[in-house]
Amino acid sequence: MQAVLYICHGSRVPAATAEAIEFVEKTMKLVDAPIQEYCFLELASPSISEGVRQCVEQGATKIAVVPVLLLTAAHAKQDIPQELEVEKNQYPEIKFSYGRPLGVNDRMVDAVLERIHAKSPDVEGLDILLIGRGSSDQDAVADTQEIVDLLQSQLPKSSSVRKCFLAAAQPKFEEALVERVQSGAERIMLVPYLLFTGILMTGIEKTVNELELQPAQEVLISDYLGSHPNVCETLKMRVEEAIKEGDSHATMA
């Protein structure tokens, strides 16, 4: 019997955990699989081990594991696969397949554009900072730049899009924001490329509140991605890929 296990990052902030669960449950309604469970990599429950056990106890013989992560970095490449190796040894009779993070695609870029337009219908001359979580993995940094380039191609030439990061990569968010303010940019929009609320969003808001702006300057913060329909559709696509991969491995075996 086919199961899907959604692995979210996890957060110490209860509201972020609640948003992650709501998002996954919204996506579950789009997926045709008899068993669907969610779990967290860290900082929240259930754990990956508990999530796998819940699937097995419901009769799963195949588990498609899907990381609910925006980009491919250490969590997707190392941390989750290491945890899954332990589960594979624990349940050798279960066929596991592993999906991809949400990644870069037109649906995700369109979701960001909608968040931008919702905050400011007039995007002429807008100075946009796309804020990534940040990673030492250069693939994640390159993916963020690709998103920046795709956004820039769909905005007026008078608008600019730059990337910055909250941790582990350059340029740092605080430095990039101060540089734009000191350059005299009048309309700055911060676009958090994050799935849910949490400590990172709180930090962004705190930094903005502490800025010293000129009278003509304004700094706007768009909504993070959240449960945007495009994000749910992308996750559904990743689930279907993981199920298909599991089926193909079973056929080959």
Whether the pLDDT of residue 113 is over 70: the answer is yes
pLDDT digits (tens, 9 = 90+) for 65-74: 999 999 988 8
What mean pLDDT is predicted for residues 79-97? 96
Residue 1 has which token pair? 């019997």
Question: Is 138 a residue whose pLDDT tops 50?
Answer: yes
- In Å, how far are 44, 67, 85 from 82, measured between CA atoms? 18, 13, 5
The residue among 91, 87, 3, 76 whose CA lies nearest residue 41 is 76
Task: Tell me the β-bridge partners of 3.
Answer: 35, 63
Beta strands in the chain (DSSP E): 2-8, 35-40, 62-68, 95-98, 127-132, 160-165, 187-192, 218-221
Q: What is the pLDDT of residue 227?
A: 84
* pLDDT beyond 70 at 133: yes
Taking Cα atoms as reference points, which of 222, 224, 231 lies closest to residue 128?
222
Q: What's the pLDDT at 105?
A: 94
Quick one: pLDDT band at residue 251, thresholds 50, 70, 90?
very low
Is residue 188 predicted with pLDDT exceeding 90? Answer: yes
pLDDT band at 249, cuts 50/70/90? low
How confident is the model at residue 250, as a pLDDT?
54
Locate the DSSP E strands across 92-152.
Answer: 95-98, 127-132
Q: What proportion of the chain, given as a percentage, has pLDDT over 70?
A: 98
Domains (range + CATH), the chain: 2-103+228-252 (3.40.50.1400), 106-221 (3.40.50.1400)
Spatial distance between the Cα atoms of 245 and 233, rounded to a whole number of angstroms: 18
